[in-house]
Amino acid sequence: MSPSPPTGPPLRLLVLGGTGFVSGAVAAEALARGHDVTCVARGTGGARPPAGARLLRADRNAPEGLAPLRGIRFDAAVETATLSLPWVRRALRDVSAEHWTFISSISVYADTYTPGQTARTARLRPALTDVGTYDPTVDPEPSQATYGGVKLACEQAVREATGDTAFVVRPGLVVGPGDDVGPFGYWPLRMARGRAAAVPAAHGADGLALPSQCVDVRDLAAWIVDRAAARASGVYDAAGPPVPLESLLHEVADAVGHSSLELVPVPEDVLREAGVRPWTGRPSMPLWPPRELYGALSRDVSSSFDAGLRVRPVSETAQAVLSDRLGRGAGTPPVAGLTPVEEASLLRLAGV
C-alpha cells in the first residue's frame, strides 16, 4: 500500500516525537504526502526522524522545553507521549495548532476479558492524574493499570484543552517494520527458518479459540495523517479485525515460511510446564495471550473502519517485517520468543 496523495494543501505538521516506532511512521507518511513536518525529540540517542523532517531538539522533562515553539502556528499536532501527563500538559500550553491528535492506548479500558467491546461501550480505568513523568529505570514494566491510567489522564487533558475537537486514537497491538520490541516480529523470522516450529495450540485450556488483533504501523500512520488533514475529531480504537491466532500464524507462514516449515501446536499446559511465558519476554511464546487479554484482542473496530481506517493483509506486514529485520541483521537475540535451543527443548517435552 503506497501513501495516499494529499487531498488538500500541504499541512504544517508538528510531531511530538518522530524518532520512535509510531511517531516516526507518522512523520514518514506525512512527508511522503508532501507535508511540511517538524519533529520534537531529544535527539541524543542516535535516532533521527525521517529524512526531510525538521528536528527541534528539546528535553520535554524541562518545564520550558517546548518554549521555542511558542508563537509558531501549526495546522496540526500529533502527540505521542508514552507515560507523561506533564509532557502533554506543557505541549497543550506551548503549542499552537489548529488540530490535535493524541495517540493513546487500549490499555485505558478496564475490562480486557470481554470480546466485542467498542470505544463507546467499554468501561474505562480510573485516570491517574497525580503522576509525573514515567521513569523506565525505576519501573521497567509498568502495570496495565498504571499505563492505562496515565494515558486516560492525558486524553482528558487533551479533550479539556481542545474542546473535544481532537482526534484520540487508542491503538492495540501495533506491528510492522521497525518494531524491535513487540511479539509479532519473532514470527516472520522463525517461519523463514523452516523445519518444526512450535506454535500455541489453537485453543486455550478453557476450550476458547486464542484471539489475535493487530494493526500495521504504516496503516495507523496513514489514518492519523488522513484525520489530521480532515481536522476530524472523536475517540477510536485502532486495530485490524479480530481473527483466531491460528489463522494469523498460518497467514504469516504462507507468506514467508520456508518450504521445510512445519507448524507444531503445543498445548497451554505443556507451555506452562516448560516455563514459557505468554505474549512476550524471554523465553516466551509470542502472541500467545493470557486469558485476561482475550477481550483486548477481540475488539469491535467497525466504527474505526467507518471513519476511514484501512488495514493491509497480515501477509504483507510479515513480508515487510522479515525484509526489515534481515536488512538490519537478524542475528541479535530476540526480545520475545524462543532461541533454537529453547524451542528444541519445548518440542521434546511436547513429544515431537
pLDDT at 323: 95
Average pLDDT value for the chain: 92
Q: Assess whether pLDDT exceeds 70 at residue 275.
A: yes
Higher pLDDT, 62 or 334: 62
Q: Assess whether pLDDT exceeds 50 at residue 2.
A: no
Average pLDDT for residues 284-305, to the nearest whole number? 97
pLDDT at 329: 73
Average pLDDT for residues 115-129, to the nearest whole number? 92
pLDDT at 352: 82
pLDDT at 3: 46
pLDDT at 257: 97
pLDDT in tens, 172-200: 999 999 998 889 999 999 999 999 999 99
Q: Assess whether pLDDT exceeds 80 at residue 86.
A: yes
pLDDT in tens, 129-154: 877 666 655 666 677 778 899 999 99
DSSP E strands, 158-210: 167-171, 173-175, 196-200
pTM for this predicted structure: 0.94
Q: Assess whether pLDDT exceeds 70 at residue 334.
A: no
For residue 109, the 8-state DSSP code is B
pLDDT at 139: 61
Confirm if 55 and 43 have CB atoms less than 8 A apart. yes
Q: Give percent of the chain with pLDDT exceeding 90.
A: 80
pLDDT at 132: 67
pLDDT in tens, 234-245: 999 999 999 999
Confirm if 215 and 172 have CB atoms less than 8 A apart. yes
- Whole-angstrom CA distances from 297 to 22, 113, 218, 309 are 19, 9, 19, 17
pLDDT at 204: 92
Average pLDDT for residues 110-133, to the nearest whole number? 89
Other beta carbons within 10 Å of 84 = 19
Residue 291 Cα to chain centre, angstroms: 20
Q: Assess whether pLDDT exceeds 50 at residue 260.
A: yes
Only one residue has cell 473496530, namely 301
Q: Assess whether pLDDT exceeds 80 at residue 291.
A: yes
pLDDT in tens, 36-84: 999 999 876 667 899 999 999 999 989 999 999 998 999 999 998 878 8
Q: Assess whether pLDDT exceeds 50 at residue 289.
A: yes
For the sheet with 36-41, list strands across it. Answer: 54-57, 36-41, 12-16, 73-79, 96-103, 167-171, 234-238
- Whole-angstrom CA distances from 211 to 77, 176, 189, 276, 351 are 34, 19, 21, 19, 25
Other beta carbons within 10 Å of 302 = 12
- CA-based nearest residue to 214, from 289, 146, 264, 127: 289
DSSP string, 264-304: EEE-HHHHHHTTPEEESBSSEEET---GGGTTTTS---HHH
Peptide bond into 283 cis (omega under 30): yes
